[in-house]
Structure formats: structure tokens, C-alpha cells
Amino acid sequence: MESREFAPKVLATYRAVIDLFREGADLNNLTVSEITAKAGIGKGTAYEYFSNKEEMIAGALFHELKRECQDMCRQLKEEEGLYARMDRVLISMEKKIVEINCFVRAIHVLMDNSAVSGKLREMMETKKEEDMLVVDIVRMILAGETETEGRMNHEESAYLSMAVFSKLVCFALYQFDQENKIGVDSATMRKMICSDVCRDVAYYRHKRKETVQGISPGSE
């Protein structure tokens, strides 16, 4: 599967889909002929690697999303502290939206009920453990910020991760607002989101500390 995934013609197909996105193509109206023409391969050849158009498009999004997240992980190693790391995540999203941000595109796709959406969800659910996506990056950041209070259980980790991830979705939706109708500049939006994430984590750490010390939350 690994060699098939990264075969030259597969990568050429992925690049073609991403290039078409950059040029403003609507993924719901993309045809196999348009994709293969851009990739410089025949339709018959494409079907040796892909079952259908949806697999080509979802695969391209997923592949690019993983690549962007790998870059993000490398950048995060340069930052210290929760606020700085979350700001770096948001800045990375913001910079790439100018060309094509596959995190934002993936959010947009996952919101509809198309065949591409279903295929992308399937790829995310069956991904390899080492493949880092945005949710995994959020979990990694939160684990580092809360480890002094003891390891989070599954429910705590899932809830806190989703609470933070929902704020990234808000920022993605903000980026879709090209005319900035809400009247808030990007730096201010990032500041509000990062501060909110810090408050969420601080509340969790306080609550966790009370539990460890045997104090019932809210009994003070």
C-alpha cells in the first residue's frame, strides 16, 4: 500500500488536484479528465491506481493535509508555552490560506455529505498512527501542557481536545470570510482564540489538581 500510495503517477495526480484547487476549481465539479490532463497521465492509467474521482480528490487533500501538519510539527518545536504554540498553529493556517490550506479545505469538505467527504473521513479514520493530523497536534500540545497534573483519561483528553479543535474550526470559518464582515482583524482573532485555549487548559489543570488533592470541585 505504501509503494502504491507514493507511486510517481499517484503523486502527480495529487499535485494536479491541489494545483486545480489553487486555480479556483470547485472540487464537486472536477472531472477525471481535468485531473488526468493536469497530471499528464491517461485516464486508463489513473484508474490503475484509483477506483474513482472521489478517491483522487480525497487522497490529494489527505496527502497535502499530512504534509502541512508535518511542517507544523517542525515549527512547533521552536516555540515554548501554550499561547505561543497555539499562535503558531493559527499563523500557519493563516499563511497557507493565501494559496491553499488543506486543513481549511478538509473542514469545508467534512461539512457536506458528498462522496468526497465520506472518502476523506474514511482515510482519517484508518490513517496510520504516525500520520499526524491537526487533531493529533492539538492532543500532543495539550498532553505536554497537562502532564504535571497526571495523565488525562480518554474522556478528558477527548473533551479538551475537541474544545480546542472547535476554536481552530472557528478560525477556519473566519478565514472563509474573505470580506471580513465581522470587522475583526486576524491578529485580534488569534489573540482571542489563544487566550481562550489557555483559559480552558488552566481550568482543567485547576480542576485536576483539586481532584488529585481530594478536594471536590466547587466546594471552596
Q: Which domains are seen in the chain, by residue range?
A: 1-50 (1.10.10), 67-212 (no CATH)
Q: What amino acid is encoded at 21 in this protein?
A: F
pLDDT tens-place string over residues 92-122: 888 766 555 555 556 666 666 778 777 878 8
In angstroms, the CA 82 to CA 131 distance is 22
* Confidence band, pLDDT 50/70/90 cuts, at residue 150: low
Q: What are the C-alpha distances in Å from 56 to residues 76, 127, 176?
A: 30, 16, 24
pLDDT recorded at residue 110: 62
On the question of pLDDT at 62 being above 60, the answer is yes
Task: Please tell me the pTM assigned to this model.
Answer: 0.72
Q: What distance separates the 2 farthest-apart alpha carbons in the chain? A: 70
pLDDT digits (tens, 9 = 90+) for 182-214: 788 889 999 999 999 999 999 888 877 777 666
Q: Is the pLDDT of residue 51 over 60?
A: yes
Instruction: Give the pLDDT band of residue 67 (cuts 50, 70, 90).
Output: confident
